[in-house]
Amino acid sequence: MSHRSSHWRHHVVVIADEGSNPFELGVATELFGLRRPELDRPWYDFTICAPHPDVRMHGGMFTLSGTAGLEAVDGADTVIVPNRPDPETHPSPAVLDAVRRAAGRGARLVSFCTGAFTLAAAGVLDGRPAATHWRWAALFAARHPEVLLRPDVLFVDDGDVLTAAGSAAALDLGLHLIRRDHGAEVANAVSRRLVFAAHRDGGQRQFIERPVPPVPDTSLAPVLAWAQQHLDRSLTVADLAARAAVSQATLHRRFQTELGTTPLAWLTAERVALACRLIERGELRLDAVARAAGLGTASNLRTQMRRRTGLNPTAYRRRFGPSVRAT
């Protein structure tokens, strides 16, 4: 299915069930349900459905009414399954049947936080990698040993099944989906509207210890901002360490503590993100893109883009380039 036709309307359906967490429901609504005329492109069709007309949300503080029935799942391109803060409670049989039907016809399935329990109960995670909230990782592993749980990451993209960890990771995964569907420029525009980090890689750690920094502030923010302004240079980890006035070993520790990744992995991800934006803006010369993003050669650009986006530059331009937006 083409993701960039001028008439394309990708249909996202969110299932709400008894005890669902309203935060994740709000995240899905914000990302996929709001109209975005400033983007000047077709956006998602969005539906909330439930197994019965009145669903009590977590804590019983309010009831969700006026939703569609579960039959809405049968017309969805993407289905976001329900989660709840108490995964000891099993999903309803009607919800599991709807999820299985969606999986059977090839819909994209998404879970936020403990929603991975719903996907696992439906049998769609057997033999596949998945993420869930770190607090419930042990319970998940014990209940679903057939799933390849990755307990520390923010989210897992396994193609047609994607799972996120704790509540805030729902935003990371949601922006990742928008990036997959619409490209880096659009995802950045949505993240700016949310006042949220444009891109955190799914492999970053969920739970990062953040001790109160001494005064003056020694966070990585200044060196990250400097590096983002100089990605066209052949920056190395040594260059970043020198800019931060620390040893390379100390820089590695601080990256792991503050970002949950390594300096080289962060730098490469930033370079690929810049290359994607340049291609979306219409730069046709791969060697120019590679130089501007600090990736050196067109060959390395192809390798890194395929590794991080699943697409080579030609396929990426075909899906997200300016000629597609103009149709």
Query: Domains along the chain?
Result: 11-194 (3.40.50.880), 215-327 (1.10.10.60)
Half-sphere exposure of 244 (CA within 13 A, CB side): 27
More confident residue, 288 or 59: 288
Nearest to 102 by CA among 118, 117, 89: 118
**Predicted pLDDT at 140:** 93
Mean predicted confidence (pLDDT) in 102-116: 95
**Predicted pLDDT at 119:** 96
Mean predicted confidence (pLDDT) in 76-86: 91
**Predicted pLDDT at 211:** 39
Which of 36-45, 56-65, 220-229 shows the lowest per-residue confidence on average (mean pLDDT)?
56-65
Q: Across all residues in the chain, what is the average pLDDT?
A: 85
**Predicted pLDDT at 149:** 93
Mean predicted confidence (pLDDT) in 119-132: 95
3-state helix, strand, coil in the chain (%, to 5): 50, 10, 40
Nearest to 125 by CA among 105, 145, 107: 145
Structure confidence at residue 200 as a pLDDT band (50, 70, 90): low
- Is the pLDDT score of 179 beyond 50? yes
Q: Is residue 263 classed as helix, strand or coil in its secondary structure?
A: helix
More confident residue, 137 or 60: 137
| Contact status, residue 160 vs residue 136, Cβ threshold 8 Å | no
**310: Cβ–Cβ under 8 A, 6 or more apart, which residues?**
none
Rounded Cα–Cα distance for residues 208 and 258 (Å):
7
Q: Which two tokens stand for residue 258?
A: 């503050």
- Is the pLDDT score of 3 beyond 70? no
**69: Cβ–Cβ under 8 A, 6 or more apart, which residues?**
49, 50, 51
Structure confidence at residue 201 as a pLDDT band (50, 70, 90): low
**Predicted pLDDT at 261:** 85
- Is the pLDDT score of 71 beyond 70? yes
**Predicted pLDDT at 20:** 87
> What is the value of pTM for the model shown?
0.72
